[in-house]
């Protein structure tokens, strides 16, 4: 009995040890932050509860049957030789005496066909209804964002606003967002657990989904389909902003550098020259400059992003310098090569990119 209690205690601790951190984690999907994730979570819980009901009932009957109808031979075992013979007899008798046979019992057959049928119906109706609700267009009021998966970063394009950004998708709170999901290379999967379930990003194909955030905040997501070396480092953030802040971001996008003084302005101008003349411009675009590359993330608002290279580094000037001077040491195998810059060029280009906010 003591063993049993200990095992139960350890099991409970194990379950709590896993469940509590999972529930507190930023990607705990049963703590929805918008209507799509909420509807999906409710359907999941409905199915889970029905399944738990079946599990408890069936295993309850099984355990009851095992205990209630087990072979009782203890009494005879104590009486030695004679007991053994008696036990053999009991066993033989038990084999002969079959329990009541129920094969072909119409009433029972109908009952245990009907019960699963009704349970499946209870699951099927909301499943079909939700599938249609999720596939439906979120309406003319929706903001459209084209999501393109790249090895190993995310591109977000707002066709209605003429904006392109990377790895951080800014959205206004309380407004449905229609997502057009595509891939530039291999199959990726867009997933922001607190806002909505997963959706594949498949090359040569367009998938659609929608989501909405009810509260301002940062919602964490990541690629959910193995896509190569840095699949695990292909993170993203959805930044849900109050309408006014979102409008400010839209208005500021592409306005160019924000500087405090003349000295900074000079550094930023030099940095822009570096960006437009060294290899950077071939792969990155910055609105209002000669840089129009598309192999890497659009850097027009890089100074306002919170992370670098799909969530691998905090966006600070030190980390920006570290990334630009040697991306391969930060994210080995990443598709950004090392571009040899002098210390001055590096400092200026960091000043320039940091000012783009």
Could you list the residues that contact ligand HEC (CB under 6 A)?
A: 152-153, 166-167, 230, 275, 278-280, 282-284, 295-297, 299, 302, 308-310, 320, 323-324, 331, 334-337, 339, 341, 349, 353
Provide CB contacts within 8 A for 138, sequence distance 6+.
Answer: 176, 177, 178, 210, 212
Residues 6+ apart with CB under 8 A from 337: 279, 327, 328
Q: Based on CB atoms, which residue is closest to ligand HEC, 202 or 283?
A: 283
Residue 334 contact, options ligand HEC, Cu ion, none, Cβ 5-8 Å cut-off depending on partner type: ligand HEC
Cβ neighbours, 10 Å, residue 9: 10
Distance of closest approach, residue 44 Cβ to Cu ion, in angstroms: 23
Q: How far is the CB of 145 from ligand HEC (least distance, A)?
A: 16
List the single partner that 188 binds among Cu ion, ligand HEC, none, CB under 5 to 8 Å by kind: Cu ion
* Rounded Cα distance, 273 and 285, in Å: 14
CA–CA distance, 83 with 262 (Å, rounded to integer): 105
Q: Say how many Å lie between the first and final Cα of the chain, rounded.
A: 65
Residue 220: CB minimum distance to Cu ion, A = 15
- Give the integer Cα–Cα distance in Å for 236 and 122: 36
CB under 5 to 8 A by kind: which of ligand HEC, Cu ion, none does 283 bind? ligand HEC
- Between 212 and 301, CB nearer to ligand HEC: 301
Q: Taking the complex as a whole, how short is the minimal distance between the CB of residue 283 and ligand HEC, in angstroms?
A: 3
Backbone dihedral angles phi then psi of residue 331, each to the nearest 5 degrees: -135, 75
Shortest Å distance, C-beta 335 to ligand HEC: 4
DSSP state, 355? T
Contacts by residues 124-131 (CB-CB < 8 Å, ≥ 24 positions apart): 126/43, 126/46, 127/43, 130/39, 130/40, 130/43
Instruction: Give the residue with the Cβ less far from ligand HEC, 40 or 354.
Output: 354
Minimum CB separation from ligand HEC for residue 18, in Å?
31
Q: How far is CA 353 from CA 106, 320, 349, in A?
A: 77, 9, 6
Residue 280's binding partner among Cu ion, ligand HEC, none (Cβ under 5 to 8 angstroms by kind) is ligand HEC
Q: Which does 253 bind (CB under 5 to 8 A by kind): Cu ion, ligand HEC, none?
A: none
Nearer to ligand HEC, 181 or 280 (CB): 280
Return d(Cα 175, Cα 307) in angstroms, integer: 25
Of the pair 5, 342, the CB lying nearest ligand HEC is at 342
**231 contacts which partner out of ligand HEC, Cu ion, none, CB within 5 to 8 A by kind?**
Cu ion
Rounded-to-10 torsion of CA 97, 103, 104, 106: 100
CB 221 within 8 A of CB 238: yes
Nearer to ligand HEC, 147 or 299 (CB): 299
* Smaller CB separation from Cu ion, 227 or 309: 227
Tell me which residues touch Cu ion (CB under 5 A): 188, 223, 227, 231, 234
């Amino acid at each position: 009995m003591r063993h049993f209690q200990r095992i139960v205690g350890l099991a409970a601790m194990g379950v709590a040890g896993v469940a509590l951190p999972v529930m507190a984690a930023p990607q705990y999907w049963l703590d929805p932050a918008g209507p799509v994730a909420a509807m999906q979570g409710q359907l999941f819980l409905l199915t889970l509860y029905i399944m738990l009901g079946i599990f408890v009932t069936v295993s309850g009957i099984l355990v009851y049957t095992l205990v209630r109808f087990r072979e009782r031979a203890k009494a005879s075992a104590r009486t030695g030789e004679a007991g053994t013979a008696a036990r053999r007899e009991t066993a033989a008798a038990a084999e002969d005496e079959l329990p009541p046979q129920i094969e072909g019992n119409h009433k029972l057959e109908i009952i245990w066909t009907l019960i699963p049928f009704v349970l499946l119906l209870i699951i099927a109706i909301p499943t079909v209804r939700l599938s249609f609700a999720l596939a439906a267009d979120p309406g003319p009021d929706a903001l459209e964002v084209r999501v393109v998966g790249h090895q190993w970063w995310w591109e977000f394009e707002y066709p209605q606003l003429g904006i392109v950004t990377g790895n951080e998708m800014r959205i206004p709170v309380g407004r449905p967002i229609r997502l057009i999901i595509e891939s530039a290379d291999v199959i990726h999967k867009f997933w922001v657990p607190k806002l909505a379930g997963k959706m594949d990003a498949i090359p040569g194909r367009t998938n659609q989904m929608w989501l909405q955030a009810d509260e301002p905040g940062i919602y964490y997501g990541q690629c959910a389909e193995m896509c190569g070396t840095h699949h695990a480092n292909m993170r993203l953030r959805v930044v849900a902003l109050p309408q006014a802040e979102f409008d400010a971001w839209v208005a500021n996008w592409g306005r160019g550098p924000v500087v405090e003084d003349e000295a900074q302005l000079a550094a930023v101008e030099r940095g822009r020259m570096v960006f437009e003349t060294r290899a950077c411009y071939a792969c990155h675009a910055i609105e209002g400059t000669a840089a129009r590359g598309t192999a890497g993330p659009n850097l027009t608002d890089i100074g306002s992003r919170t992370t670098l290279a799909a969530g691998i580094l905090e966006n600070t000037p030190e980390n920006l310098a570290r990334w630009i001077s040697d991306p391969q040491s930060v994210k080995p195998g990443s598709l950004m090569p090392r571009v040899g810059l002098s210390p001055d060029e590096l400092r200026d280009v960091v000043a320039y990119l940091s000012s783009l906010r």
